Amino acid sequence: MSYDKVLQAKSFIVGTKQTVKALKTGTIKEVVVARDADARVTAKVVSTANDMNVPILYVDSMKRLGKACGIEVGAAAVAITL
């Protein structure tokens, strides 16, 4: 599943604001978004990823996505870099 992609990624960026900023630089291979995150929080990430033609993968849990990133809190969005 997508959690494995995050675990295997050499480099990634955690958080919605940082993900949007990174998407605009064109250095992102794909974005992982948690379905249980508030849509208002993830809307800008999804919109920017679509604008930049970056694939979006969805996972079920912010908590598990955060754990896959090695952080103790949930993550709404993660960007996997090139």
Q: What is the pLDDT of residues 7-34, one digit of tens each?
A: 999 999 999 999 999 999 999 999 999 9
Nearest alpha-carbon partner for 2 in 69, 48, 70: 69
Q: What is the pLDDT of residues 52-61, one digit of tens each?
A: 999 999 999 9
Q: Is the pLDDT of residue 5 over 70?
A: yes
Number of domain units in the chain: 1
0.85 exceeded by pTM = yes
Domain residue limits at 35 = 3-81
